[in-house]
Amino acid sequence: MHDPRQLLDPDVDAAAKLRRRGYVLDTDHLGKLVSRRSSVIGEGDQARAESKKAAAEVGAAAKRGEDVTALRERARELKNRISRLEEEQREVEAELNEFLLGIPNLPLDEIPDGATEEFAEEVRRVGTPPEFGFEPLDHVDLGERAGFLDLTRATKLSGPRFAVFKGAGSRLQRALAQFFLDIHTGEHGYTEFSLPSLVTRQTMTGTGQLPKFEEDLFRTGVAERELFLIPTAEVPLVNLHAGEILPLEDLPLRYTAHTPCFRSEAGSYGKDTRGLIRQHEFSKVELVQFVEEERSREALDEILAHAEAPLQRLGLPYRVIKLAAGDTGFSAQITFDIEVWLPSQGTYREISSASDTGVFQARRANIRGKGKDGKRAQIATLNASGLPIGRTLVAVLENNQQADGSIRIPEALVPYTRFEVINPDGSTS
């Protein structure tokens, strides 16, 4: 939740910042809502003070034996006025909250202008794309020819944008998840969680998925109970501390989880519909950090490096880009994308996003910080994919394919797969 005072502060110039990401802030409407709320609160405080005084006057007059009929009527009128003002305050606060929930995070000045990925700023490239003496196949052809990927039966079960794996494909998926978790928990200091895949509307609102992206979410429920399938483990990980005060001496908190993720990808039909790039259900290892606000930019560099580490161990070529303001996610104030090289497409494709949301999510989820000395502090949250299983599997298959249709497993992954090669017939060795 934004602080409306910050949005209206001329020194912040929030309207100009938000225009960079294509959002027009109606400052007049916001100003009227804030003014109305202040006025109602002021009137309510005054009415309560008058009511307290009137009650004292009734008591004093009664003790003196005087007629208190008029005074009691005045006291009743004040109580009724207080009730009306409290209801009006609830209404204006609900309207203000609804307005604020639809406003995206303010982008940092350092990110480039622009509304699409072509305006992104390349930060670095790591590794060299492989050269093949043959026409490389895409992951679908590699997986289906070897028999460990079955998209046809997945469609029979659930419709388009789902996948079925078996044999070496299933083992490779499981190996990648364990590989990622071992790196992040064993070397980067993250605590692993097992989490629900169904969460409440309030939980989705805390991280910014609602109300803005409701059409992209899978929703379910029983009787009057409404629940949403998580699009990423970021949602439950951040909201673990919703409504809490975090001891500053415990920061930073580093959390990770491997979960299924569900996205309707509304509006993206016709784009990346072949294979595993854009699925309705996929799994991912997510990284989340809680830090003091002033440390968030430093922590972003750290969590980005943590997300890159598995790619480096796997020997996969990739690049890092800084997204333009208009292409940055709703909750983020700055985002770096990691893009892995896909030989079949001859280009880099997104495999991870590392974002600093500043205090945006913490304010929405009412997460605060407090030190032993009583010092209060704003909490910032950060997140990164560390990494998605499906897209990493795509990159492993395509970058390590051989002329005979076999796929070599990266050395770092062999202790997890317990095989070095997936043969063209799907067997392993």
Task: Give the model confidence (pLDDT) of 190-218 as tens digits.
Answer: 999 999 999 999 999 999 999 999 989 99
pLDDT averaged over the chain? Answer: 95
In this predicted structure, the answer to whether residue 270 has a pLDDT above a threshold of 60 is no
Catalytic annotation present for 249: no
Q: Is 385 annotated as a binding residue?
A: yes
In this predicted structure, the answer to whether residue 333 has a pLDDT above a threshold of 80 is yes
Q: Which of 263, 308, 339, 355 is catalytic?
A: 263
- Residues 379 and 369: beta-carbon distance below 8 Å: yes
Catalytic annotation present for 278: yes
The pLDDT-based confidence of 266 (bands split at 50, 70, 90) is low
Q: Is 351 annotated as a binding residue?
A: yes
Q: Which of 20, 161, 364, 391 is catalytic?
A: 391
Q: Which pLDDT score, from 0 to 100, does residue 269 have?
A: 52
Mean pLDDT of 299-327: 98
Mean pLDDT of 58-86: 92
In this predicted structure, the answer to whether residue 164 has a pLDDT above a threshold of 70 is yes
Q: Is 286 annotated as a binding residue?
A: yes
Q: Which of 48, 174, 278, 408 is catalytic?
A: 278
In this predicted structure, the answer to whether residue 312 has a pLDDT above a threshold of 70 is yes
Catalytic annotation present for 254: no
In this predicted structure, the answer to whether residue 275 has a pLDDT above a threshold of 80 is yes
Q: Is 350 annotated as a binding residue?
A: yes
The pLDDT-based confidence of 274 (bands split at 50, 70, 90) is confident
Tell me which of 67-76, 158-167, 246-255, 393-402 is least confident: 67-76
